Chains A and B, each alone.
Chain A
């Protein structure tokens, strides 16, 4: 079975600082994809970044980067230079090859303070 674990229910960071949101996953399938989404209070799910299990380099998208450690089965999201607008819920998700659905973690609520 596939499982995503996010152990940080809440995180606080000051504006302009970097923050790391933790995500560990469990699957026996060698082919999988890892996703991070941001959910502001409005409820929409905003796609941030993707990492494939065979990707040699860590994914980056602007201020977002994914610290992918395959041996540890971790896929932590790093947000650099935090902004007030980054305050939201962040979900890590996994899709295993052969299955189309995403399995989500429980989420981390990030609060950025001035």
Chain B
């Protein structure tokens, strides 16, 4: 398994501001992902964070709104830009371990409320 930490664990932000969420893993991993879970909903993949190159975004998500950095194999950040109340969600970092069944593990999540 992998131990994943996220900062901040929760935040309350004003409309129009931006928040950067950090994800740290205790071991080097190739695959890191960012998911969003809107209130009462399931998880949706925002993007795959690629080390050394631009992130790969899913349909409906764009780099200008959700810029992602992946400077090394243990760390990534997701920024939620120009926030609106619709961005209120739990944002989860996930990593895929290599070997075994290539399980995916999740960080504790960042609970974001936008006023």
Q: How far is the CA of A95 from the CA of B109 in the complex (A)?
A: 21
Q: A107 contacts which chain B residues (CB < 8 A)?
A: 42
Q: Is A102 an interface residue (CB 8 A)?
A: yes
Q: Is B90 an interface residue (CB 8 A)?
A: yes
Q: How far is the CA of A91 from the CA of B41 in the complex (A)?
A: 11
Is the pair A44, B48 in contact by a Cβ cutoff of 8 Å? no
**Residue of B whose beta carbon sits closest to that of A42:** B108
Contact segment of B67-75, B80-88, B97-105: B97-105
Q: Which residues of chain A in 39-61 are interfacial with respect to chain B, using CB atoms and an 8 Å cutoff? A: 42-47, 50, 52
Is the pair A47, B101 in contact by a Cβ cutoff of 8 Å? no
Is the pair B45, A47 in contact by a Cβ cutoff of 8 Å? no
Is the pair B101, A45 in contact by a Cβ cutoff of 8 Å? no
Is the pair B92, A45 in contact by a Cβ cutoff of 8 Å? yes
Q: Which residues of chain B in 1-20 are interfacial with respect to chain A, using CB atoms and an 8 Å cutoff? A: 1
Q: Given A45-B92, A107-B42, does the pair A102, B101 have CB atoms closer than 8 Å?
A: no
Is the pair B42, A102 in contact by a Cβ cutoff of 8 Å? no
Interface string of B37-50 (1 = CB under 8 A from A): 10001111100100
Q: A44 contacts which chain B residues (CB < 8 A)?
A: 106-109
Q: B102 contacts which chain A residues (CB < 8 A)?
A: 33
- The smallest C-beta distance from A10 to any residue of chain B, in angstroms, reads 12
Q: Is A25 an interface residue (CB 8 A)?
A: no
Is the pair A91, B43 in contact by a Cβ cutoff of 8 Å? yes
Is the pair A101, B90 in contact by a Cβ cutoff of 8 Å? no
- The smallest C-beta distance from A85 to any residue of chain B, in angstroms, reads 17
Q: Is A68 an interface residue (CB 8 A)?
A: no
Contact partner of A37 (CB less than 8 A), chosen from B31, B45, B106, is B106
Is the pair B109, A104 in contact by a Cβ cutoff of 8 Å? no
Q: Given A100-B96, A101-B48, does the pair A52, B101 have CB atoms closer than 8 Å?
A: yes
Pairs across A and B, CB under 8 Å, 9 listed:
A43-B37, A44-B106, A45-B43, A47-B104, A47-B106, A101-B33, A101-B45, A101-B48, A104-B43
